[in-house]
Amino acid sequence: MSQKDISPHNIESTLIETRSFPPPSSFAATARINAQDLAALHVQAALDPINFWANLARTEITWRQPFTETLDASQAPNYRWFADGQLNISYNCLDVHLAKHGERTAIIFEGEPGDVRRLTYKELHYQVCRFANVLKAQGVGRGDRVVIYLPLVPEAIIAMQACARLGAIHSVVFGGFSALSLQDRIEDAGAICLITADGGHRTGNIVELKAAADKALSAGCPSIQSVLVLRRTGAPVSMKAGRDLWWHEAIAAQNTQINPAQCEPEWVDAEHPLFLLYTSGSTGRPKGIQHSSAGYFLNAKLTNRWVFDLQDSDVFWCTADVGWITGHSYVAYGPLAAGATLLMYEGAPTFPHGARFWQICQQHGVTIFYTAPTAIRALMKFGDDLPRQYDLSKIRLLGSVGEPINPEAWMWYHHVIGGGRCPIVDTWWQTETGAIMISPIPGATATKPGSCTHALPGIFVDIVDDDGHTVSTPNVGGYLVIRQPWPSMLRTIWGDNERYLKTYWEKFQNRFYVSGDSAQRDADGNFWIMGRIDDVLNVAGHRLGTMEIESALVAHPRIVEAAVVSRAHEIKGESVFAFVVCHGVRPTGDTTEFTRELRDWVGEQLGAIAKPDDIRFAESLPKTRSGKIMRRLLRSIARGEPITTDISTLENPAIIEQLSQ
């Protein structure tokens, strides 16, 4: 072990996973990419990465004007890809399929109340053109910003695709965000149009989107000229004359002199912004991540095909909302670019019962299922028997996204949901990367529970220490970085390029992209994500990743979920504070013995240094409606600090009071 690999700035890893699962032979036999294909792609990318991407861009994208320059690095790290080419993203998602696959189902939708709709590619194209003409009538054109604040219904995709068709820049705001969060995003983007709905369905209740939109607009947002309102729930809402229009009435009122079913695509430059997507602001004011058109589209399309092995007969269900990057790349754009059939579900995964996901999989013949570890762990709480009441035999591939998946949840997913026959693609990527960066290729890669395995072809990932040197020793952690540019990388932060440079490039003098995550590699070269760099605990001089301690806790047979944060300790500097959720009822009364048992359990798995000093039992953890654990709230609770940040995005805001007691 070299001296730099034992630097106090490196992160220690004590979680060693030796189980390995090769691709099932039956899956590999028909996969788009086998082990030999994958090896060839890696060789091509390593020998000439620029031509590797250029060849793929020429093959996978229909260009109005072909590009002649692949990568412009003259203003690095503000990279430009395929800059002199012209294309339209909506055309590449819809029009290209009409001749051969116009009657193929593009979207299967199920609402939380149980209503079901299906749209073919031909019907989706028709709806997108009609709504694009509505936007055009409202003065929306190339470069204008449009904010979309809708439930997870087909109209959300229609609105996104319509903006892309016109060359307008959309910014989707998750329907769980508050009026203040919506206002911040509208004002930062300078949007001229807001698309919203009377409401959406969630856990049997109506989420009042129009009311929140009205509150946001009454407090500011002077740039907004028009508001288009979808009727989803039928709940009464106020409509402001001269500003607000019903979606269906605007469609019906289209000028009869034009064909509403036709809207010629606006051909834009490859670097034209396709969308802005704001972070939640957990570490400061929201950042408007700006993605280009061609580069983003290329990686979104390729990763849908490579990682999910999309076949013509597949029904692909990514459970993410389009308000997040996962919903952009693996609901609204990537699957349609690949000509797939995708499924959308509006509501909560456990309403009206804990098997709603599995019921939907059975009803609609889902073959590929992609969800978050938090959702998997929440569904584990209902036990093994519930999913086994449903026919999940059509599922052939499982996926995980959003955060590291602990081995215990991975194994449950594999055995109970996949029946031991389905590969699991555990994916690492970010809003900023635009598409999956590290993942197994299901027909080619041996998987390990909890590891995202290897970087995809053309993606050059490394782990470095505080000085930027590669950490070569297995099971020693460091900064996860990407050494070379890739097409779908973020271009900048909207209106704040200085913040872009400081956040993602300054740490290592612009040499490589800094993800903000910590990771380690095992002896087989598999990547293991250890959590956010700013979530690392410094306990008595040892830097510990939160993910490993959480994984050890969840491996206990009575624990279904855990989140670990730090609190100040006068001797050790920081101590480990764990919040845990048990199978069944939350323990009450004297929990001393159970706490000791859990501490000893972690000590046996990871060593005494990782034992939690404090353990608090909860009925659930504070999560957004997308399933993301809001660790900043847990840090405040552990440290006894008042919570002053916005908690309107929480699935269950009442849990904060319980955890604080």
Count of alpha carbons within 13 angstroms of residue 90, beta-carbon side: 31
Between CA 119 and CA 106 the distance in angstroms is 6
Between CA 426 and CA 402 the distance in angstroms is 9
pLDDT score at 6: 35
- Residue written as tokens 């940040």? 645
> What digits encode the pLDDT tens for the residues 410-434?
999 999 999 999 999 999 999 999 9
Which pTM value belongs to this model? Answer: 0.87
Provide CATH code, domain 25-68+83-460: 3.40.50.12780
Between CA 177 and CA 649 the distance in angstroms is 5
Amino acid found at 171 = S
- The 8 Å CB, 24+ separation contacts for 62-68 are 62/87, 62/91, 62/92, 62/96, 63/87, 64/88, 64/267, 65/267, 67/270, 67/294
pLDDT score at 590: 86
pLDDT score at 657: 78
Of 367, 359, 516, 494, whose CA–CA distance to 433 is shortest? 516
Which one has a higher pLDDT value, 348 or 481?
A: 481
pLDDT score at 283: 45
pLDDT score at 550: 87
- Give me 227's structure tokens: 């508001």
* Count of C-beta atoms within a 10 Å radius of residue 255: 9
What DSSP state is assigned to residue 538? Answer: E
Helix (H) or strand (E) segment spanning residue 418: none
Q: What percent of the chain has pLDDT over 90?
A: 75
pLDDT score at 626: 64
pLDDT above 70 (res 484) = yes
pLDDT above 50 (res 517) = yes
pLDDT band at 98 (very low <50, low <70, confident <90, very high): very high
pLDDT above 80 (res 627) = no
549, 606 Cβ separation under 8 angstroms: yes
Count of alpha carbons within 13 angstroms of residue 95, beta-carbon side: 19
> What digits encode the pLDDT tens for the residues 375-386?
898 899 899 999
Q: How many helices (H) and strands (E) does the chain have?
A: 21, 31
Between CA 301 and CA 308 the distance in angstroms is 11
Helix (H, G, I), strand (E, B) or coil at 304: helix
pLDDT above 70 (res 487) = yes
Which one has a higher pLDDT value, 650 or 208?
A: 208
pLDDT score at 198: 98
49-63, 233-247, 426-440, 540-554: least confident range:
540-554
**Residue limits of CATH 3.40.50.12780 in the chain:** 25-68+83-460
pLDDT score at 8: 40
Q: What is the mean pLDDT of residues 22-30?
A: 96
Mean pLDDT of the chain: 91
pLDDT score at 342: 98
Q: Write the burial class of residue 541 (CB in 10 Å: 0-12 exposed, 13-18 middle, 19+ buried).
A: exposed
pLDDT above 60 (res 488) = yes
Q: What is the mean pLDDT of residues 258-282?
A: 87
Between CA 242 and CA 131 the distance in angstroms is 19
113-127, 367-381, 469-483, 571-585: least confident range:
571-585
pLDDT score at 14: 54
161, 128 Cβ separation under 8 angstroms: yes
**Residue limits of CATH 3.30.300.30 in the chain:** 536-660
pLDDT above 70 (res 77) = yes
- Give me 169's structure tokens: 């820049």
Which one has a higher pLDDT value, 288 or 254?
A: 288
pLDDT score at 17: 78
Helix (H, G, I), strand (E, B) or coil at 531: strand
Residue 38: CB partners within 8 Å, gap ≥ 6?
A: 441, 444, 445, 457
289-319 burial: b if 16+ Cβ within 10 Å, else e: bbbbbbbbbbbbbbbbbbbbbbbeebbbbbb
Between CA 391 and CA 398 the distance in angstroms is 15
Largest CA distance in the chain: 78
Between CA 638 and CA 579 the distance in angstroms is 9
536-660 classified as CATH 3.40.47.10: no
pLDDT score at 36: 97
> What digits encode the pLDDT tens for the residues 302-317?
999 999 999 999 999 9
pLDDT score at 106: 98
> What digits encode the pLDDT tens for the residues 162-186?
999 999 999 999 998 888 889 999 9
pLDDT score at 537: 74
Q: In 241-293, which ranges are continuous DSSP H helix?
A: 247-252
Q: What is the mean pLDDT of residues 269-283?
A: 83
Between CA 476 and CA 51 the distance in angstroms is 34
Three state DSSP letters for 103-156: CCEEEEEECCCCCEEEEEHHHHHHHHHHHHHHHHHCCCCCCCEEEEECCCCHHH
pLDDT score at 256: 62
Q: What is the mean pLDDT of residues 89-102?
A: 98
- Give me 312's structure tokens: 């013509």
* Count of C-beta atoms within a 10 Å radius of residue 384: 11
Between CA 361 and CA 79 the distance in angstroms is 41
pLDDT above 90 (res 248) = yes
Range from 15-24, 188-197, 573-582 that averages highest in pLDDT: 188-197
pLDDT above 70 (res 282) = no
pLDDT score at 295: 98
223, 207 Cβ separation under 8 angstroms: no
Between CA 303 and CA 373 the distance in angstroms is 20
Q: What is the mean pLDDT of residues 460-482?
A: 95
pLDDT score at 15: 62
* Count of C-beta atoms within a 10 Å radius of residue 151: 28
pLDDT band at 351 (very low <50, low <70, confident <90, very high): very high
Q: What percent of the chain has pLDDT over 70?
A: 93
Which one has a higher pLDDT value, 660 or 69?
A: 69
pLDDT score at 660: 78
487, 435 Cβ separation under 8 angstroms: no
